[in-house]
Amino acid sequence: MESWIEHMPKGMMLKSDGFASNLYDPESVYTLKRFCADHGIRYGDTGVPVSLDTFTSYGLAFRDRMVPELEDKLVVALDRAPEGFVLRLDSGETVRARRVVLAIGITHFKYTPENLAHLPEKFVTHSFQHHHLEPLRGRDVTVLGGGASAIDLAGLLQQAGSKVRLVARASSLKFHTTPDGKPRPLWQQIRHPQSGLGPGLRSRFFANAPMIFHYLPERWRVKVVRTSLGPSAGWPSKAKFVGKVEQLLGYSVQRAEIQEGKVRLSLRSADGSERELLTDHVIAGTGYKVDLTRLKFLSGDLRSRIRLVQGSPALSSSFECSVPGLYFAGVAAANSFGPVMRFAFGAGFAAERLTKAMAKSPVRDRISVSASTMVEMTKEGDPTSSSSIETETGIMKRENGCDSCWLRWRPHDSCRGGSHLPDHCLRI
């Protein structure tokens, strides 16, 4: 949950509907709806915005309930080893694994345009760096971008007491339609069917058919992922933004330099006209670009063996990259399985495909090393002999674990009799 807890602006509302904001568990036992009912929080499958606060509380409760054995550790190095992979954790431990799933989300991929990236952080940051908004109170802030991140942040900063303007290349901004509470007419339901990515036939296809998407020609997939579901903000953002935040639309940044303790931005519009502005701080709400060269924990050797398509790993139908045993989920899988991989709604499909791939192994022992990094250890021979992790300081034994359910490091009586299917061990 790190991205949500530390890198999204306080006060944000999710863009996805309630029904599309579940964390995935195969039996849907702990949905957002269930969490809200338990905690007296207003919920609707559609039409009731989900606050960041609610979603992060749900995420933490989900973790405690569904994956209490999860270890919050960072992988600082990942390399090939004779039997698979070797991972070094920030705790100093070394873990060997036959298979590794990297579900590292957006955390390494924030994108800042080149003509801004050279300026120091005191003057230019990315929207990923702003959870607390108080430090910018009373300051003149320019947010760049025309998508949900930029619009949300601009509206929330304005509310928190900054003087904000938004600069975007687009000549108009898009917001999702505000629901009017009335049932949709039948023809509209057919023409614009509801989906986990919002209403519309294309969204429905992306949300429900990632496997078909995968079999389409690579060039087409990459183009579709780049161009579809273009920038638009959720309807709840509108009230905080429209009429409150100054908008400079149709402009792109040509140059940025520091002048007398401020940033001077040179802007150019589509018709060629130019203007300049001085601002205390610039925030790039310019999104994320998957680029595996950003993964400093990957060894150079491993990285060089991963076939890339425009920075993203090319994945098989089971999410495996060109290095056998190495899998990617989340946004890094979008070029292979479509835009749904960028959203929580895509996690179910990814988890099921990955589970099938893992289940092919005759003997399994899986451990989790972080919120979203999944490691599978596979050993030959007696399964019960592999219930341990090798560390640099020795062998860490699994104690009191359920023998028949050794996907989990928890006592037998709390794991429902060891009847877990393999998919219970996948976390996205």
Ligand X SMILES: Cc1cc2nc3c(=O)[nH]c(=O)nc-3n(C[C@H](O)[C@H](O)[C@H](O)COP(=O)(O)OP(=O)(O)OC[C@H]3O[C@@H](n4cnc5c(N)ncnc54)[C@H](O)[C@@H]3O)c2cc1C
Residues of this chain that bind ligand X (CB under 6 A): 2-3, 8, 14-16, 21, 74-75, 103-107, 148-149, 297, 330, 342-345, 370-373, 428
Three-state DSSP state, 422: helix
Lookup: tokens for 419: 């009847």
Closest separation in Å from C-beta 13 to ligand X: 8
C-beta of residue 54 within 8 angstroms of C-beta of residue 36: yes
In sign, the C-alpha dihedral spanning 412, 417, 423, 428 is negative
Alpha-carbon distances of 381 from 324, 363, 364, rounded to whole Å: 21, 8, 10
Provide, rounded to whole angstroms, the least separation between the CB of residue 371 and ligand X: 4
Q: What separation, in Å, do the N-terminal and C-terminal C-alpha atoms of the chain show?
A: 10
Rank residues 176 and 262 by Cβ distance to ligand X and give the closer one: 176
In the complex, least distance from residue 98 CB atom to ligand X, rounded to whole angstroms: 18
Q: Are 150 and 125 in contact (CB under 8 A)?
A: no
Q: How far is the CB of 102 from ligand X (least distance, A)?
A: 8
What strand order describes the sheet that includes 94-97?
75-81, 84-89, 94-97
Alpha helices in 331-424 (DSSP H): 334-337, 347-359
Q: For the chain, state the CA radius of gyration.
A: 23
Q: Shortest CA distance to 344 belongs to which of 35, 56, 144?
A: 56
All residues at 6 or more sequence positions from 125 whose CB lies less than 8 Å from its CB, including other chains? 281, 282, 283, 284
Q: Using the minimum distance from each CB to ligand X, give the nearer residue, 74 or 249.
A: 74
Please answer whether residues 45 and 37 qualify as being in contact, where contact means their C-beta atoms are separated by less than 8 angstroms. Answer: no
Cβ contact 358:375 at 8 Å: no
List Cβ<8 Å contacts ≥24 apart for 159-162.
Answer: 159/11, 159/240, 159/244, 160/11, 160/133, 160/134, 160/136, 161/137, 162/133, 162/136, 162/137, 162/138
Token readout for 189 is 């339901």
Minimum distance from CB of 299 to ligand X (Å)? 13
By beta-carbon proximity to ligand X, the closer residue of 55 and 205 is: 55
Q: Which residue is nearest to ligand X (CB)?
A: 105
Q: How far is the CB of 308 from ligand X (least distance, A)?
A: 18
Using the minimum distance from each CB to ligand X, give the nearer residue, 23 or 167: 23
By beta-carbon proximity to ligand X, the closer residue of 8 and 265 is 8
Residue 148 or 267 with smaller CB distance to ligand X: 148
Name the residue nearer to ligand X (CB basis): 4 or 213.
4
Least Cβ distance, residue 380 to ligand X (angstroms): 28
Report, in Å, the least distance between residue 400 CB and ligand X. 26
The smaller minimum CB distance to ligand X, of residues 43 and 345, is found at 345
